[in-house]
Structure 1
Amino acid sequence: MTVRTWFITGVNSGFGREMTEQLLRRGDRVAGTVRKPDAVADLKEKYGDQFWVAHLDLTDVAEIKAVVGRAFAELGSIDVVVNNAGYGLFGAAEELTDAQIDHIIATNLTGSIQVTRAALPHLRAQQGARIIQISTFGGQAAFPGASMYHATKWAIEGFTEAVAREVAGFGIGVTIIEPGGARTRFRYGSAQLGPALDAYADTPVAAVRGMIENGRALPPGDPAKMAAVIIASAEQSPAPLRIALGTDSFGIIRTSLADRLAALEAQQDLATSTDFPADA
């Protein structure tokens, strides 16, 4: 098995932590970023120079550029860049505060964009690498109570798909990962809620709020199995553009795409009626 060097954002918990542990155990090098370095002190102590770690606030573009540049300078080359860090924000669109909206866009969307942009000059020079973007089934489907989370994930999927086409000629493969619910701290640890408005108390938004506040429902996804698939995707050639993980993700995405296709096909005559005549 080829030993690779990985750059992964958000390695303190969730998929980032699980991937990092699996990669280090098998002998790969990991450059990981965290908001709180103490959260991975145990990994640094155990693996030493095999684990490179840096503080990174994804809302700080200058820091993103500096950290990515330093990682390449100190490690020589990086084979796989994983945009993993992010969080969920839930509540009706008008319940969310301006600050909450600005922060999730800066973290989930702009942060991932800037990590990719900072890495691309280095990856092009290497003439071969992978970029893996962690998204969600919520990048292909939308539900009430998650409007801003969906906004960041639909946007990052569009960005990533376009980049995949831009850099294919440089030997850079790009993959979007779309997990379903997994038993990490994402839903009941890092997720945030907007201030509740009474107007939404009897709407589907309240059910989403209740699920987050109660913290009892167990998602079906196994983080260790999902992380293993993400890691294995770096070996696939050509790189798969999208990978759905979990029965819930597969089912939700399939239903969403089927519904969208059916609605589009029903509009074919209307769409063509707005063109100039063929002989015009």
Structure 2
Amino acid sequence: MTHDQTRNWFITGISSGLGKALADTLLDHGDFVIGTFRQADQVADFNAANEGRGFALMLDITRPEQIKQAVQTVIDRFGRLDVLVNNAGYGFAGAIEEASEVEIRAVFEANFFGTVALTQAFLPLFRQQKSGHIVQISSQAGVKATPGFGVYNASKFALEGASEALAAEIAPLGIRLTIVEPGPFRTNFAGGSFRQATIQIDDYAATAGTFRSRMGQINGQQEGDPAKAAEAIRQLVQSENPPLRMPLGTIALASITAKIASLQQDVDAGREVASRAIFG
């Protein structure tokens, strides 16, 4: 595909935040946006405002039958997809002990299982085309964990592990994959779409409790500009050799750099012990 051709994008969760910013940016540049909402009135409003430029449909990625229907709709109506952006998901705060099994499973259903299921559902189309680009919206929290954010960290760590393997599996088939790792962006992530553990344990007030308070305070004050992130993703897809990972924001850079340094320190400190734990 040449750079000036119109691309068909499928983006989950375009009602707000990074998803909305990306949809707006792509529409402004003349690409075709197939976006998902969870409310029927939002679908109707988008379709009325963007006839011929975009198409919205209802999708809850935790509902397998809706995934199947959405993918079939794309194939029947458009026949081709160039970019899949797995953006839908939500944040969750709470110490590991505070989080119930129901809460943990719900986070994974949206952030991991739903995302993987939608990716799997589009892969036959990408394989048939011998082209396509999967953009997984992860987080700096998919690389470095934070006290009070462990369940969310785990869901994004899982997504990153599956995506790293998938990228190697599909590269020989002409399909690309990039994991985008934003830091804090000025979206609704820390606001209305953010959930917290129902149980709070006093012993974690200084760790998970501090994290919960900070998330409340930063809402609306985050450093990241969603419009600039959207443009970065648009340019990423146009690039000749897109990276496996793309951090976004100075906080993401600092966080991921700190994780790499921590890993290197542990590897270096344990090098002698590790080398002895073998036969011979």
Structure 1, residues 38-61: CA drift from partner, whole Å, max 9, x if none?
235443222113211111111112
Checking the alignment, whether the CA contact within 8 Å between 2:186 and 2:219 is kept in structure 1 is no
Q: Find out whether 1:209 has 2:212 as its counterpart.
A: yes
Measure, in 2, the Cα distance between the counterparts of 1:205 and 1:47: 43
TM-score by length of 1: 0.95
Checking the alignment, whether the CA contact within 8 Å between 2:190 and 2:219 is kept in structure 1 is no
The structure-2 alpha-carbon separation of the partners of 1:138 and 1:17, relative to structure 1 and needing over 3 Å to count, comes to same
Aligned-pair CA distance for 1:65:
2.0
- Give the counterpart letter for 2:225 in structure 1: D
Report the counterpart of residue 172 of structure 1 in structure 2. Answer: 175
Q: Find out whether 1:192 has 2:189 as its counterpart.
A: no
The structure-2 alpha-carbon separation of the partners of 1:42 and 1:66, relative to structure 1 and needing over 3 Å to count, comes to closer
Q: Which structure 1 segments of 5+ residues have no match?
A: none
Checking the alignment, whether the CA contact within 8 Å between 1:8 and 1:82 is kept in structure 2 is yes
Checking the alignment, whether the CA contact within 8 Å between 1:91 and 1:194 is kept in structure 2 is yes
Report the counterpart of residue 117 of structure 2 in structure 1. Answer: 114
Report the counterpart of residue 37 of structure 2 in structure 1. Answer: 34
Report the counterpart of residue 181 of structure 1 in structure 2. Answer: 184
Report the counterpart of residue 44 of structure 1 in structure 2. Answer: 47
User: Which of 145, 148, 159 is the aligned partner of 1:145?
Assistant: 148
Checking the alignment, whether the CA contact within 8 Å between 2:137 and 2:179 is kept in structure 1 is yes
- Give the counterpart letter for 2:222 in structure 1: P
- Give the counterpart letter for 1:134 in structure 2: I
Between 1:198-207 and 1:244-253, the stretch displaced more is 198-207
Report the counterpart of residue 242 of structure 1 in structure 2. Answer: 245
Root-mean-square deviation over aligned CA pairs? 1.5
The structure-2 alpha-carbon separation of the partners of 1:37 and 1:21, relative to structure 1 and needing over 3 Å to count, comes to farther
Between 1:119-128 and 1:267-276, the stretch displaced more is 267-276
TM-score by length of 2: 0.95
Report the counterpart of residue 21 of structure 1 in structure 2. Answer: 24
Checking the alignment, whether the CA contact within 8 Å between 1:6 and 1:81 is kept in structure 2 is yes
Q: Which structure 2 segments of 5+ residues have no match?
A: none
Q: Find out whether 1:123 has 2:132 as its counterpart.
A: no
Checking the alignment, whether the CA contact within 8 Å between 2:186 and 2:220 is kept in structure 1 is no
Measure, in 1, the Cα distance between the counterparts of 2:258 and 2:66: 40
3-state SS, counterpart of residue 198 of structure 2: coil
Report the counterpart of residue 257 of structure 1 in structure 2. Answer: 260
Measure, in 1, the Cα distance between the counterparts of 2:39 and 2:215: 24
Report the counterpart of residue 138 of structure 2 in structure 1. Answer: 135
3-state SS, counterpart of residue 58 of structure 1: coil
Count the aligned residue pairs.
Answer: 277
Report the counterpart of residue 57 of structure 2 in structure 1. Answer: 54
Checking the alignment, whether the CA contact within 8 Å between 2:186 and 2:222 is kept in structure 1 is yes
The structure-2 alpha-carbon separation of the partners of 1:215 and 1:249, relative to structure 1 and needing over 3 Å to count, comes to closer
3-state SS, counterpart of residue 234 of structure 1: helix
Report the counterpart of residue 272 of structure 1 in structure 2. Answer: 275
**Could you tell me the percent identity over the aligned residues?**
36
